Structure 1
Amino acid sequence: MTALNTLSEQTFEAPLRERLVVIGNGMAGCRAVEEILARDPARYSVTIFGAEPRVNYNRIMLSSVLAGEKTFDEIVINDAAWYANNAITLVAGDRVTAIDRVNRTVTARSGRTEIYDRLLIATGSDPLVIPVPGRDLAGVITFRDLDDVARMIAAADAGKAAGGGAAVVIGGGLLGLEAAHGLSLRGMAVTVVHIMPTLMERQLDEAAGWLLKVELERRGQTIVTSGDTAEILGSDGHVTGVRLKDGREFPAQIVVMAIGIRSATALAKAAGLDVERGILVDDHMVTSDTAILAVGECVQHRGACYGLVAPLWEMCRAMADYATDKPTGYAGSVTSTKLKVSGIELFSAGDFSGGGGAEDIVLRDAARGIYKRLVVRDDRVVGAVLYGDTIDGAWYFDLLRKAEDISGIREALIFGQAFVARGALADPSGAVAALSADAEICGCNGVSKGRVIAAISAGARSLDAVRSSCKASASCGSCTGQVETLLALTLGGEVQSGPKTVCKCTRFSHDDVRRLILERQLRAIPQLMQELHWSTPDGCASCRPALNYYLLCAWPGEYKDDQQSRFVNERMHANIQKDGTYSVVPRMWGGLTNPRELRAIADVVEKYNAPMVKVTGGQRLDIFGIRKEDLPAVWADLNAAGMVSGHAYGKSLRTVKTCVGSEWCRFGTQDSTGLGVKIERMTWGSWMPHKFKIAVSGCPRNCAEATIKDFGVVCVDSGYELHVGGNGGMKVRVTDLLCKVATEEEAMDVCAAFIQLYREQAHYLERTAPWVERVGIDRVKAALFDDPGTIASLAHRFRFSQTFMQDDPWAKRVAGEDAELHSHMAEIRPLLTEHVE
């Protein structure tokens, strides 16, 4: 949770317009502003108050942050640039405490007062906390915002550090199960206590609830239904467990309250607005004061309060229509639910309680774990529960929402839309094709089938391009299959299944970006994003490291490396470990070392109390357990011994592994150790698309494992066999033979040329193995050898870029740089520049 993106205030001047003040910087408040801007961007001068000290983010995806599947940056909906680009004043971390309807002002906790012509209340909801003894103990947490997630992650980390950890989640609804899933993935033993006999009883019937319970128990969670909490136990002010009314006790270092929500109406009630369970609004989202509108979980419309996102989007559209003098009206929502727990297919919509003449149509397939139930009344679908196979969920929901007569297809209805349409099991794309244009595809972002098709028609040719254009499939991803089907149906063979966009911020692929950097002479990240119309002006955690690398590779010596666009390990020049400490790996050229280096390492281990030193697979020593604040001093001591970074953390050259070769081994054919040292000194410090490993084996017995490295040299009697594209990781790939050469100089030139070809053509984060497989080894050989001058040209470009490589990353940070380090660098430079004019 290192990127909470805290903000205080951003203010931008705007022309004199109607003053719109929004209370609530969450999903509803900002979506309402987006809808207004889409209709009439010059109508209002907008000020948004947010209780949280950060930009607007997707609360639906908090469970993914908790589970470690996404970072905060990846769930941001509107970043700081959005407020700036739309001249919106954001007052973050300053909760509004009063509304003066007579003078039309709002006052925040800080004392700040703003005048409004029109006020929009989007205060959302408050979590419910059951009134049991112990509810105020430290460690009792609700699950509503990013701070709650941070507390849960901290508790899980503390439990892990202590050798375990237990959590109790009170509430077996959608939110509680998502919290339980995330905590379970973070290593906690999780017990879910639910007061009702069936999990998610508002969305699931008894049969589907039982299937869900069995699956969650199979995943290691303890599920207690019909469990009524009597007391939260504690010691020294901190929670220790939960006791039920039947006497059972469950240990816990953290208790998550996820029993439900209540509309946040206190502010509106204090202002004298009409309030029941929520703030009363009409079909235009107007409250009892015509100057005040309200949307989201805080409102009550036609007797209903909604806690799901789809109704919020519909409210925002109706409100924006009214606020821009194009009134339409909101008639209420029929809701559906999908469970966002990885690997569990679950869909629910409408009323499945039965009664009133309702009939059930049920399909059970126990062997496949599939359960489908449709509730039909008066030849209309009024409810649906799907478990294990949810592909027809959107179709059933569309039938339900439109109250269509299904009497003509009733016999085949339970088998799905493709069966109904074709009379037999067929291509499931038929189900998507038959959906109406206003059928919802992406519930997280309120995107209809029509909007997806419009984005495709406007030029989106891939899944990533659709995500960038209209946000469909950009959040939880459960609608990805439907979006891909719409791409195929709309474009046929023109779908770009190959080149993926760099990220959701752009429609350009990696190859497009690299080409345009050179064609348009783009030399800075802000310039690139401006020229190529990035949808998020500051980019994201996926694209900024890639763009930084592409510019660094394209303009050596001109482009200044942007450290803030690098991953944390590269910024810290060490590998962060799960306990928050770092591991440090000094370079050992070709795996060789000497007494002075070994003494320096031993001294560092003792001086900084490193708990472990490990010999790595790359013939080096890895020092574990170094604190962040000690890193500069550690490297000062290692630098003083002439040791430099091993870049074990970088998208760069890692190691050159060698065997002893002809100098010592009776089987050795060449001086593999000496060649390995020369290659490592030539390639050290070079940034790559991914980590890069080299090995030199002194004979075909291949003790250095050269045939599973990115570049491998196998020494033979006649010279050197050069291999490329190997990988010894999760997916082992044996190298392809690139060529044979007679001399060390030729081997080094080909090595430099291959590296530069890889640097210039591969996608960022693409290792040599997938790159070679993607382009083909024949294409690599052709690029290197078809033109006799190519090897020399590529090798020259590589060595030229190496003249601008960093010196040791910590050398500039420590006082009194050691003269021997400079001597060492002076020894390396000639190897880099000997072929460079």
Structure 2
Amino acid sequence: MMQSKQRLVLIGNGMAGMSVVEQIVQLNPNLYEITVIGEEPYPNYNRIQLSYVLEGSKTIDDIILNDKAWYQEHNITLLTGTAVERIDTDRKELHTDAGQRIPYDQAIVATGSKPIRLPIPGADKQGVMGFRDIRDCETMLEAAKTYRSAVVIGGGLLGLEAASGLKKLGMDVTVVHLADWLMERQLDGPAAAMLKAELEKQGLRFLLSTKTAEILGAERVTGLRFADGTELEADLVIMAAGIAPNTSVAKSSGLEVRRGIVVNDYMQTSAPDVYAVGECNEHNGVCYGLVAPLYEQGAVLAKRLCGQPVEPYQGSDVYTKLKISGVDVFSAGEHMEQQGDEVIRVQDHWKNKYKKLILRDRKVVGSVLFGDVQESSRVTKWVKAKETMTESLYDAFVGHADPVTNDPLAFAAALPDDEIVCGCNGVTKHMIMQAVTEKGLTTVDEVKACTGATRSCGGCKPMVENILKLTLGEKFQASAKTQEAICGCTDKTRDEVVAAIRSLRLMHVKEVMNVLGWTQPEGCTKCRPALNYYIGMVWPDQHEDEKASRFVNERLHANIQKDGTFSVIPRMYGGVTTPEQLRKIADVADKYQVKLVKVTGGQRLDLVGVRKEDLPSVWEELGMPSGYGYAKALRTVKTCVGSTYCRFGTQDSLGMGVYLEKKLERLWMPAKFKMAVNGCPRNCAEADVKDLGIIGNDGGWEIHVGGNGGIKLRGADLLCKVKTDEELEEITCAFIQYYRENGKYGERTSDWIERIGIQQAIQAVVEDQQNRQALKERLEQALAGLQDPWQEAAQSEQLRHDLYEEVQVK
């Protein structure tokens, strides 16, 4: 008689608990009948990347680790939006808030942590919240649409991430911190001061050594009063003063709880067959709040539950390698020296780098790095092993020797096989090389899927790629598979798909899927829009745009909002408008009860809160072309008034900006594309953080490319300098066409330029004049297939026609 599977129930659908489940299904997929219960309405997601969702650079779908299909594939029952109230350890069953009783043979409590809510008067007012889950993100995003000033209480990692996200949403943000410097648990004074200076450049304000005494306001917060009697206005307050283990289920179930749920070296709680893993537990008196220790605990528990030999968990060496608002920071072991310790410190104000080693009895016990963390793997090993300081270690750290530091491949080769490369998931160099060799992996994404490396914070991705290159050797360069497939429906890369479209003259999305053997006949939301773009890019004269393959925002010519309404952005060429246009916008806003009229960063007006059924009429009455605020196309051309009006202007930036925007609007590209034209080097239009930025000077123009002002802040590279307007237009058009033909769908120019290198772009569109002219001609051919960009009425008519087809008004 076949023995039935044991019943394993996981309480909590977060990263720590799900790491245990993932390892169990790899170690012994037939051992357990698994049920996962989560309070949030989402499958397992990457909590580390919530700040990206907050600032808008990633969506909720982007940070999902295991989608619902994954649970189904592994025969795992997933209950979302469900809370466990208690565990009946005698009957071995769980009681949920929905009245369910779920039996178990083994249960894992992985309820994580909750933000600490400071016990100060007014903490319960509207507009006061924590920052811990997607719901918090959504609340903050909604608040940013209405309110302007935000205060974050807490200058640790979580607080700085929240502050940076709110700042990118356009809010005025002040961070209030009780300690003398930021991130005092990870950084020393000098590193924290450098971090503060960098964040102040980004527009954040700080009040250090400041204690909040009261939150002001009637029902909703209006400000804060501090212990010294001073006050600060605030519309939104984020409490990020720390986290505490979420032990409510354990307490109601009679488990032993101190600060966290008490566990032994195998994550066993005080109750038989009940385990606890992650931020909710307490091991040897320690509660961990970082990701790496939680995965180390999970690895021990997974093997224990599968009956495999495993060494007991002995605690974790705490180290942190993070990117905060574009700044790299790292600390391992002790970050503050004690009396009698020796310190090796290197500080470079010119390149804004800082590094420190702490020695106790000549042994390395701690380190802090700021600005450049490529040595973090080596330093982590020194701290863990408490290496004795030697001349060679000293020379390697301060940079007097060790040439491998400047050679990424040599540096990867020098790492010991047992070196942990991905601290978040406990993946060593040997594990990566073994997976690449035994399973034929050729891309970082494949390594991630197989080993988990790069899956969480992503900070180890460069090292993983270098280990991949090291392992494959010449095969890395020779294999077309070093490029990732465009989606999970195919093994074809972007270049293979485009080559097939050209050589086989494929004209339709489904035709491409059929000919190239798509595993999913209808494709997916990732590949359909990409194929539609690639076909149009290759065959601009013959391709008929397939609206069904476009995202809803592009089909409706508006951005869908959280509440189901839409945001409408009419185009204002170069940021210039007229009284007539403003009157139309005001009339439409009144007539259709628009919730908000917002001045955008691209010098336009955004009508937020338009109902879907009103979209055709709104566009008809505006009589203006769409600003394509939703499209993978030219969004805006930001300008200053230039020589036409400004006493500092040397070039007609206004005229050039308007001309280029009218020429290039509605030209589809791999990703959204932003431009700026400045009339002088004062750079008022911020050309240095645009996909293509133009700066005028006395001798002509400078063209800068590959900038990005979003989450991955990147200064643009100088492409070239030109003397005439004709040269400017030709090289601008050639660069855009080169990007259109070679960029991956969804790849911003900032990532594309980093991938191909600025020298390749310079050679293709500046130095090779024959190629430049050919690129310009192909762009003109693509433009010719569009309506006359100067005919706004024609654009408006086409817009209304598209919308009436899409929106069925009853």
Q: 1:33 to 1:644 in 2, by over 3 A?
A: same
Give the secondary-structure state (helix, strand or coil) at the position aligned to 2:65: strand
* 1:304–1:577 distance in 2 versus 1, CA, 3 Å: closer
**Equivalent residues in 2 for 1:617-632 (5 A)?**
625=607, 628-629=610-611, 632=614
Deviation digits for residues 642-661 of structure 1 (CA, Å, limit 9, x no counterpart): x9999896568999xxxxxx
Distance 2:515 2:233 in 1: 51
Q: 1:544 to 1:203 in 2, by over 3 A?
A: farther
Aligned to 2:683: none
Note closer, same or farther for the CA distance 1:172–1:503 as it changes in structure 2 (3 Å cut).
farther
What residue is the counterpart of 2:301 in the other structure?
319
Residue type at the aligned position of 1:174: L
CA contact (8 A) 2:535 2:543 kept: no
Three-state SS of the structure 2 residue aligned to 1:581 is strand
Partner in structure 2 of residue 812 of structure 1? 805
Check the 8 A contact 2:421/2:428 in 1, yes or no.
yes
Post-superposition offset of 1:450: 2.7
Structure showing greater radius of gyration is 1
What letter corresponds to residue 70 of structure 1 in structure 2? K
TM-score between both structures, scaled by the size of structure 1: 0.69
Matched, 1:368 2:351: yes
State how far apart, in whole Å, the 1-side matches of 2:220 and 2:585 are.
43
Paired residue secondary structure (2:320): strand
| Distance change in 2, residues 1:461/1:272 (3 Å) | same
Over residues 714-737 of structure 1, what are the superposed CA-to-partner deviations in whole Å (9 max), with x where a residue is unaligned? xxxxxxxxxxxxx99998999999
Contact 2:613 2:808 survives alignment (8 Å): no
> How many residues were matched structurally?
695
- Corresponding position: 1:581 with 2:562: no
**How much does 1:759 deviate?**
9.9
- Return the letter of the residue paired with 2:158: L
Which residue type is aligned with residue 115 of structure 2? Answer: P
* Contact persistence 2:431–2:451 (CA under 8 A): yes
Deviation, 1:241, is 1.2
Partner Cα distance (2:31, 2:544) in 1: 42
| Match of residue 550, structure 2, among 546, 549, 566 | 566
- 1:184 deviates by 1.9
What are the Cα deviations for residues 759-801 of structure 1, in whole angstroms up to 9, with x where unaligned?
999854689999998798978999999xxxxxx9x9xx99xxx
Equivalent of 1:91, from 79, 91, 94?
79
Question: Cα distance 1:115–1:513, how it changes in 2: closer, same or farther (>3 A)?
Answer: farther
User: More displaced, 201-210 or 600-609?
Assistant: 600-609
Amino acid paired to 1:396: V
Structure 1 residues 350 and 366, CA gap change in structure 2 (3 angstroms): same
Distance 1:207 1:761, change over 3 A: closer
In 2, Cα distance between equivalents of 1:626 and 1:62: 24
Residues 191, 302 of structure 1: alpha-carbon distance in 2 compared, 3 angstrom cutoff: same
Task: Kindly indicate whether residue 416 of structure 2 is the aligned counterpart of residue 432 of structure 1.
Answer: no
Classify the secondary structure of the residue corresponding to 1:634: helix
Q: 1:168 aligns with which of 151, 162, 172?
A: 151
Offset from partner CA, 1:104-160 (integer Å, 9 cap, x none): 110111111211111111011121111110010111111111111112222222125
Structure 2 residue 15 is matched with structure 1 residue 47: no
Distance 1:571 1:333 in 2: 51
Contact 1:632/1:813 (8 A) holds in 2 = no
| Residues 1:338 and 2:331 aligned together | no
Distance of 1:653 and 1:130 partners within structure 2: 46
Partner letter of residue 567 of structure 2? Answer: T
Change over 3 Å in CA distance of 1:627–1:351 after alignment to 2: closer
Aligned-residue RMSD, C-alpha: 5.4
- Write the mapping of 1:189-204 to structure 2, written as runs, cut at 5 A: 189-204=172-187
Query: What residue in structure 2 maps to residue 274 of structure 1?
Result: 256
Gap runs ≥5 in structure 2? 573-583, 637-661, 674-704, 708-715, 729-735, 754-760, 787-797
Q: Following superposition of structure 1 onto structure 2, how do residues 443-592 of structure 1 map, counting pairs within 5 Å? A: 443-457=423-437, 458-463=439-444, 466-467=447-448, 470-473=451-454, 475-492=456-473, 494-495=475-476, 500-501=483-484, 508-514=492-498, 543-547=527-531, 549=533, 563=548, 566-574=550-558, 581-583=567-569
Q: What is the CA–CA distance in structure 2 between the aligned matches of 1:756 and 1:360, rounded to whole Å?
A: 53
Q: 2-side partners of 1:173 and 1:484: how far apart? A: 30
Residue aligning to 1:695: none
- Rounded to whole Å, the distance in 1 between the matches of 2:81 and 2:114 is 17
SS in 2 for 1:70: coil
1:385 corresponds to:
368
Are the structure 2 counterparts of residues 251 and 325 from structure 1 closer, same or farther at C-alpha, using a change threshold of 3 Å?
same
Counterpart for residue 222 of structure 2: 240
Partner of 1:303: 285
Q: What SS does the corresponding residue of 1:78 show, helix, strand or coil?
A: coil
| Whole-angstrom distance in 1 between the partners of 2:200 and 2:571 | 42
Maintained 8 Å contact 1:526/1:538: no
Match of 1:38 among 14, 26, 51: 26
Over 3 Å counting, the alpha-carbon distance change for 1:546 and 1:301 in structure 2 is same
Specify whether residues 188 and 316 from structure 1 end up closer, same or farther in structure 2 by C-alpha distance, changes over 3 A only: same
**Structure 1 position 127 matched with structure 2 position 110:** no
- Does structure 2 conserve the Cα–Cα contact (< 8 Å) formed by 1:143 and 1:149? yes
Q: Partner letter of residue 183 of structure 2?
A: M
Instruction: State the alpha-carbon separation in 1 of the partners of residues 272 and 401 from structure 2.
Output: 49
Moved more, 209-218 or 222-231: 209-218
Residue type matched to 1:442 in 2?
Answer: C
Aligned to 2:644: none
Distance (whole Å) between structure 2 residues aligned to residue 728 and residue 363 of structure 1: 32
Alignment partners' CA distance in 1, 2:745 and 2:706 = 20
Q: Deviations over 1:419-448 (max 9, x none)?
A: 5545x9753544332222232323344433
1:675-694 equivalences in 2 (<5 Å): none
Q: What is the TM-score normalised by the length of structure 2?
A: 0.71
| More moved, 292-301 vs 565-574 | 565-574
Deviation at 1:33, TM superposition (A): 0.5
> Aligned residues: percent identity?
41
Q: Distance in 2 between matches of 1:141 and 1:784?
A: 53
Whole-Å separation in 1 of the counterparts to 2:203 and 2:627: 40
Partner residue in 2 for 1:208? 191
- Contact persistence 1:265–1:275 (CA under 8 A): yes
Post-superposition CA distance 1:806-831 (Å, at most 9, x none): 993234356799xxxxxxxxxxxxxx
